[in-house]
Structure 1
Amino acid sequence: MADGVAIQDASGRTPKPDLPPDSSQADSPLALRAHRTNLVNVPAATLCSEAYNDEPRRLRIGATRSEHAALFEALDESPDALTASDIFQRYMAELFGVNPDFSGAEGPDGKRRFRASYLRLLKGWMFDSNRAEGAVLKGWVESRFGLLPTFHGEPIRRFASDAWAAYGEQKQSTRFHNNNIHLQLDLLYEFCQWTIRRGWPDAPMPNWASHIRLYRGVNDFAEHHIVARPDKRTAVLRLNNLCSFSIDRDIAGQFGDHILDAWVPLPKVVFFRDILPRYPFQGEGEYLVVGGDYRVGVSLL
């Protein structure tokens, strides 16, 4: 266990502080939480449920691992996390023509061509998850895991709504939705999961863990539909299909007066900074997590 990191090897419960009164949550988000199908080995309706979070199963995106076996064979031979990260980024640079320092390619006419990159999407998300980069990432979760977004700039409560139309337009943005961007994100997810299971000595979670304790700061609950209130200090929230948490409670407290405290199943972790240590992400301690219904504790700063 790393210093300051709470790890759980089975489902557990968070502290149970007071929850603010419910105000306008009666108008629920989309009637369906998820699509009927997805590209992972767990049905979308199960994946977005609280029951899955209690007893998670390992997730695989289609045949990503088998179709890129050379990458994962090379990763298995890596002696440490930094070498593994370099192998991954070198593979991505060769396959998609992207790297941390250059986001374009020169065409036959000598002009620079923009190439969509998983790195650009991550950087854009950490700056503002409600921009086009965030929509593309949420669209990838929708496509692969089958979970519908509940918020993008504003609550998404119906398919036939301006909010849904705006999200749909941004997630198909040609600026970010090219260069096999979904495949790039598939590989990023599988690399993240490979890193978690490898369990390096200095990793933020041991390879026997099933959950990690993460925090999210909020000022209100406009982004989070309240599904249930088992008691005054606990809530079941329907989190956006992709959302950010922090491993550091103090950092989470910089983003809101209320702290959500959740045990997140490791198969739902899409990205955390430690898997790409050479890339200068600003959101230190940030984890990108697949959403759904989560039982959380809520505390005031």
Structure 2
Amino acid sequence: MTDYHITEHRDSKVCKAPCASLPMFAYTSLNRCNVPAYILGSHTYQQHPIALSIDCVTALHHDFFNALANITSKEVRALHFHQYMCSAFLLGKSDEAGFTPQTGSIKRDKADYLRLLRGWMFNAEGVEAAVMKRWVESRFGLLTLNHNGLLNDPNCIINRAYQSDYVRGLYNSNALEAQLDLLYTYCQYELQRILPLNTHYLLYRGVNHLEQHHKIGNISDNQPLLLLNNLNSFTSDRDFSGTFGDVILETQVPYSKILYFPELLNGVLKGENEYLVVGGIYQTTITR
């Protein structure tokens, strides 16, 4: 297999020298997990993933995960997860969480992890989606590349609009990023428990305008290395993915990069068989 090297110029989409590393414009040097962003966003990581853990989450919620060990039914575990989220973050208890008429004119007490997931599935360019992309930036160090357009200039209108979206989404809310921390960690727990010997899911993504994607190189004529946005929707249903674009990207996604899968929450949000996948460089196969 040929190795590739990406240049550090933002506008360059194809690289031609050794080593398919993550370009500098796609990551930050700081994150809150156990693997540096330039590694977990690389093609090598896709091929040889290791478990990712967000700092302190397991330690902070160790009683919850210890309790899960004795529950054999995944449906009961999902119910236990939701009940724990409600208890830990006082979901549905606005007064106990500190939301009072004096806290401000903008009420965000109903913003929670379920609303973020529903918002993403309704509009992956909306306010809730901006919050989730910003969470990926802070936890994994992979920068948002696209939100209602390419974010290729920190001073451009599109970038300022993205920042406005995630600030509005986080403002006066109840620890939304910490809720996503626990959602991701629970997702990883369930994947390891349900399929302990597997490391990858074969998933599909329908896209239009493939030429606008960041292309890092080619394994073969129909197998490009693509730099994806820091959070993406995939599906396990190839036929369904074709309704979202004229080109289908088929790729092996590491379990460790999955934030949400359809069976995770016991019947919640199953409509589109959607998987939420952390980005980086992916070897893909193009089909039509």
Relative contact order (alpha carbons < 8 A, sep ≥ 6): 1 or 2 greater?
Answer: 1
Counterpart contact for 2:231–2:278, Cα < 8 Å:
yes
Which amino acid in structure 2 is aligned with residue 260 of structure 1?
L
Distance 2:255 2:149 in 1: 28
- Which amino acid in structure 1 is aligned with residue 68 of structure 2? L
Partner residue in 2 for 1:253: 242
Do the aligned partners of residues 249 and 177 (structure 1) sit closer, same or farther apart at CA in structure 2, a change above 3 Å counting?
farther
- Residue 251 of structure 2 aligns with an amino acid whose one-letter code is A
Matching of residues 264-275 of structure 1 within 5 Å: 264-275=253-264
- Cα distance in 2 for partners of 1:184, 1:225 equals 31
Shift of 1:77: 1.2
Counterpart secondary structure, 1:173: helix
Q: Counterpart of 2:229 in 1: which secondary structure? A: strand
Shift of 1:223: 5.9
Which whole-Å deviations, capped at 9, do the CAs of 1:3-34 have from their partners, x for residues lacking one? Answer: xxxxxxxxx9xxxxxxxxxxxxx934885210
Q: Which residue of 1 aligns with 2:131?
A: 136
- Taking the aligned partners of 1:271 and 1:164, their CA distance within structure 2 comes to 26
Which one of 7, 27, 45 corresponds to residue 38 of structure 2? 45
Cross-structure match for 2:144? 149
- Secondary structure class of the residue paired with 1:197: helix
Residue deviations 1:176-233 (CA, integer Å, cap 9, x gap): 662111110000000000000111xxxxxx2101111000001222662111123321
In structure 2, the CA distance between the partners of 1:73 and 1:165, relative to structure 1 (3 Å rule), is same
Out of 67, 71, 82, the residue aligned to residue 78 of structure 1 is: 71
TM-score (norm 1): 0.82
Aligned with residue 192 of structure 2, among 179, 197, 206: 197
Partner of 1:209: 198
Cα distance 1:109–1:48, how it changes in 2: closer, same or farther (>3 A)? closer
Look up the match of 2:275.
287
Deviation at residue 37 of structure 1 after TM alignment: 1.5
Q: State the match for 1:114 in structure 2.
A: 108
Where structure 2 has 5 or more consecutive residues not aligned to the other structure, the ranges are 2-9, 14-22
Pick from 59, 65, 88 the counterpart of residue 95 of structure 1: 88
Alignment RMSD (CA, Å) = 2.4
**Displacement of 1:285 after TM fit?**
1.6
Comparing 52-61 with 156-165, greater Cα deviation is found at 156-165
Written as runs of structure 1 = structure 2, the 5 A alignment for 1:33-72 is 33-72=26-65
Q: Quick one: structure 1 residues 229 and 152, their matched pair in 2 at CA, closer, same or farther if it must change by over 3 Å?
A: same
Deviation at 1:161, TM superposition (A): 2.0
2-side partners of 1:108 and 1:242: how far apart?
Answer: 34
**Secondary structure of the structure 1 residue equivalent to 2:151:** coil
For residues 224-269 of structure 1, give each alpha carbon's deviation from its aligned partner in whole angstroms, at most 9, with x where no partner exists. 2111123321111110000000011011111111100000011001
- Aligned position for 2:213: 224
Q: Which amino acid aligns with 1:48?
A: G
Contact 2:202 2:252 in 1 (8 A): yes
8 Å Cα contact 1:61-1:186 kept in structure 2: yes
Structure 1 residues 141 and 175, CA gap change in structure 2 (3 angstroms): closer
Cα-to-partner distance string for 1:64-91 (whole Å, 9 max, x where unaligned): 0011111101111112100100110000
Instruction: Label 1:120 to 1:277 Cα distance change in 2 as closer, same or farther (>3 A).
Output: same
Quote the offset at 1:113 in angstroms: 4.6
* Residue identity matched to 1:290: V
Q: Deviations over 1:50-70 (max 9, x none)?
A: 011111010000010011111
1:27 aligns with 2:15: no
Question: Structure 1 stretches (4+) deviating beyond 6 angstroms?
Answer: none
The answer to which of 158-167 and 262-271 deviates more is 158-167
Q: Which structure 1 residue ranges, 5 or more long, are not aligned?
A: 1-11, 13-25, 200-205
- Say if 2:27 and 2:141, in contact at 8 Å, map to a contact too: yes
For the pair 1:185 / 2:155, whether they are aligned, the reply is no
Residue 123 of structure 1: aligned partner: 118
The answer to whether the 8 A contact 1:36-1:44 is kept is yes
Looking at structure 2, the residues matched to 45 and 32 of structure 1 have their Cα atoms a distance apart, in angstroms, of 11
Mean alpha-carbon deviation: is it higher for 133-142 or for 161-170? 161-170
Task: Provide the TM-score with structure 2 as the length reference.
Answer: 0.86
8 Å contact 1:34–1:148 — kept in the other structure? yes
For residues 33 and 114 of structure 1, the distance between their equivalents in structure 2, rounded to whole angstroms, comes to 31
Distance in 2 separating the partners of 1:76 and 1:284: 30
Separation in 2, partners of 1:295, 1:113: 43
Partner of 1:163: 158
> Separation in 2 of the partners of 1:60 and 1:31?
23
